[in-house]
Amino acid sequence: MTSGKVSLIGAGPGSIAYLTLKGQHLLSQAEVLIYDDLVDPQLLQLVPSNCVQLHVGKRGGSPSTPQDIINLLLVDFCSQGKQVVRLKGGDPFIFGRANPEIGALIAANCHYEVIPGISSALAAPLLAGIPLTDKDLSRCFVVLSAHDPDILDWDAIAKIDTIVILMGGRFLEDIIQNLQEKGRSPSTPIAIIRHCARPEQQVWIGTLGDIVDQITEESLSPTVMVIGDVVKLRNMTTSPSLPLSGKTVIVTRAAEQSSKFSDLLQEQGATVIEMPALEITPPSSWEGLDQAIATLKDFHWLILTSANGVHYFFERLANAGKDTRALAGVKIAVVGKKTAESLKQYGLLADYIPPDFVADSLIEHFPENLSGQKILFPRVETGGREVLVKDLSVVGAEVVEVAAYQSGCPKQINPQAWQVLQEGMADIVTFASSKTVQNFYHLVKVALTSKSKYTPQSLLENVCLASIGPQTSKTCYEAFGRVDVEAQEYTLEGLTAALIQWAKTQN
């Protein structure tokens, strides 16, 4: 039996973008995930589908899982030989309560390791454009937790150039009073940063004398406070030249698929929320595809129109005990740059890719006469476009359609994406296929209650709707009555370029 291990991982300040590579690797191998509040919901999608997930978050003033229970869970699962990930916000060793958990693991002779994370104490000021040190204004800084302000040495704290306070939202007035009593001026600058590294991040700037008036009736959890003259240096933004800085983008995609598109957008400064709008599953029966694979030598062409089609075709090819050599004599046509890239992963290059990467131009530019040619077309089981098959048949080709996969709509909308939409924080929603448009519309419509003042169209009134190409745009018009951005090159790179051009017009 494999020995168990517990990995205590720092999830970072809020966004999945700030998770370490080692943390990501360990999450991908987790058999049990025990996670805190404030971790990005997208992190939960990094674990295997059969991973046991347990939420044990602790929030001030709310019911919480007792620490003793958390310790017992870690020891119990580890003793069963499981690979356990204990996912903590920020860094495990900065107010992360790692010590009692490590103590329990040591006492039970359990293997463990600790993976550092980026603490909000460091990230929140940076993401708000506030440096913690400066050669003139701040030679040092202190980080403290203020959930129990009465036990702190305010005499010593007040003398530090820059003060960073975590977990102090409920005690703001006590903090201000203590600092002023120990000599800090009412004119001392203060910044309060709520929900750092998230799309809903907010920053209030004031002084010890007036900040309370600014945040009356605001919930200050979770927040990071920065007190000191460095607050005057705010707006030293980390990436002012990136064209999508300050834009929150919802990327609709297939569940459990990594998103290269998200990486492209983040490289341009965007905050990305990935929203699964498709569930890709095996077809209801493999019979048709397996039979076609058994007679591959009878086909002249194999047409692949999606990365999913590529994946499932080669999965069944391997299941039949065959490899790419079985395709000797069969030419391959692919639609889409992503499909071509997926094919390359199997060591194959397409014999033909239509211009503009779209199916509509496949027949018009086909490199040879298709009359009498037998074509294998592995495709989505239901809901796919019929135009391609019809056009191939018109020119005399014999098309054998087989179900290679099925695509469906998730049962409910991603909670983080829904919150961003409801609170008006989304700037852009992107669509890379007609089905993502249809499913996104359905998910939003279902999420809106009968008493809601919104419709899917009005909820997105101030949101840019971005499409990868004409067919997707057509579906956008049908669902929402408009499209704001359409890629000139019908690829993810093309859509990124179109969004960059759109962003320039907004400034």
The residues assigned a catalytic role are 36, 58, 167
- Beta bridge mates, 250: 273, 429
Query: What is the phi-psi region of residue 305: left when phi exceeds 0, alpha when psi lies from -120 to 50, beta otherwise?
Result: alpha
- Beta bridge mates, 374: 398
* Max CA separation in the chain (angstroms): 92
- How far apart are the C-alpha atoms of 147 and 384, rounded to whole Å? 56
How far the first Cα of the chain sits from its last, in Å, is 60
- How far apart are the C-alpha atoms of 405 and 310, rounded to whole Å? 10
Long-range contacts of 500-507 (CB under 8 A, 24+ apart): 500/243, 500/244, 500/268, 502/464, 502/466, 503/243, 503/244, 503/247, 504/243
Task: Tokens for 233, please give them.
Answer: 């240096």
Task: Tokens for 470, please give them.
Answer: 């004409």
- Count Cβ atoms below 10 Å from residue 127 Cβ, excluding itself: 22
Q: Tell me the one-letter amino acid at 167.
A: M
Q: Are 30 and 103 in contact (CB under 8 A)?
A: no
Q: Tell me the one-letter amino acid at 203.
A: V
Task: Tokens for 314, please give them.
Answer: 């080669």
Q: How far is CA 404 from the centre of its chain?
A: 27
